[in-house]
Structure 1
């Protein structure tokens, strides 16, 4: 179920983190909206997903504030734009680009590969259960960005890349991972909008001209 992030300005769908990052570009009243266009927006988004990063990667981003996020804000935006370019290629997305400066495919691949430099290690405390923790260079926020890039490699080159889809509802720039065969849209909101549009077309179609 789609939920508007109260502090992020982005739509969080419970998708894999790379897809959630792609979906920081949304549309409002026919105009694209970038939830990461400021450092405050990047901070809010990382705060919103920090719990998932901690759970999935064992990475504690610590105090996610603008001072900690500012050095990685541009990197996260570049990763987002690269992921959207790769997703468009992988899904043959017919929609126009939603970001102003979409990178070329080789550049997008290079950006992803340069950032996906993290690896899992086994941690087994004496008084706890074994766990997988991701390691890499840089600060905790650097590592959070690297982990999302690492996940994206698996998304595009994993066993089910065809599950990634663009949402083709009117004016929707989002992507989603198809979790069941009947899923067509990123969220029930888009599904309802499509049904309303279809109903309108059926009941307001221009009458056919009949020959005399």
Structure 2
């Protein structure tokens, strides 16, 4: 089995259609598969911190540690499972529902009251990095819930260009791939199949 790599050999494709409107879609697609194997954009604490900061889910100078990065990736699987169930019109896995609901209720509602000589009494999170992560998880979970229960859920699709595993919102009825790169791969595969069939037919005609 191929292992996911954290740094793609080639640049990842641009965000899938709809990822600019739904962070949850972008989040689900942070684990992507290309002909060279799996690429995990959240594969390290550094890349996960950068991913959150670029989407304004964490401060630019914030840093996740490995346990928090594991928790972030742990939510991605359930979000992907729920998107896949919606696309395939299947009953959503209860474990995925439970994980998303847990993230929705995990964000702290209030900071604690603290004191030190420099600042005196002040409000402070129990653990800054954990609070940042809890907020990010809650935002991503809420966005997934909004997507899955809103009108755009009807537009959800899985990319139809193997081995890609990304999700997208269809921009028109015929759109079934997430990027020009994937569309080109589909067209190339169709052209190859057509040429192969033509050659087979010609050979059969020569040797009935």
Q: Give the structure-1-normalised TM-score.
A: 0.68
* Alignment partner, residue 59 of structure 2: 62
In the alignment, is the contact (CA less than 8 A) between 1:10 and 1:23 conserved in 2? Answer: no
Q: Deviations over 1:164-189 (max 9, x none)?
A: 11001021111001233342211111
- Matched ranges for 1:99-114 at <5 A: 105-114=93-102
* Alignment partner, residue 77 of structure 2: 81
Q: What stretches of structure 1 of length at least 5 have no aligned partner? A: 54-60, 94-103, 119-136
**Residue 153 in structure 1 maps to residue 145 in structure 2:** yes
In the alignment, is the contact (CA less than 8 A) between 1:46 and 1:64 conserved in 2? Answer: no
Which structure would you say has the larger Rg? Answer: 2
CA shift, 1:144, in A, is: 1.9
CA distance in 2, matches of 1:144, 1:49: 10
Q: Deviations over 1:69-97 (max 9, x none)?
A: 5553222111110011111111129xxxx
* Alignment partner, residue 167 of structure 1: 159
2:104 paired residue among 81, 96, 116: 116
CA distance in 1, matches of 2:186, 2:49: 33
In the alignment, is the contact (CA less than 8 A) between 2:103 and 2:134 conserved in 1? Answer: no
Q: Across the two proteins, how many residue pairs are aligned to each other?
A: 169
Q: Give the structure-2-normalised TM-score.
A: 0.69
In the alignment, is the contact (CA less than 8 A) between 1:26 and 1:33 conserved in 2? Answer: yes
In 2 relative to 1, CA 164–20 (structure 1 residues): closer, same or farther, beyond 3 Å? same
* Alignment partner, residue 141 of structure 1: 133
Q: 161-170 or 27-36, which moves further after superposition? A: 27-36
**Residue 90 in structure 1 maps to residue 82 in structure 2:** no
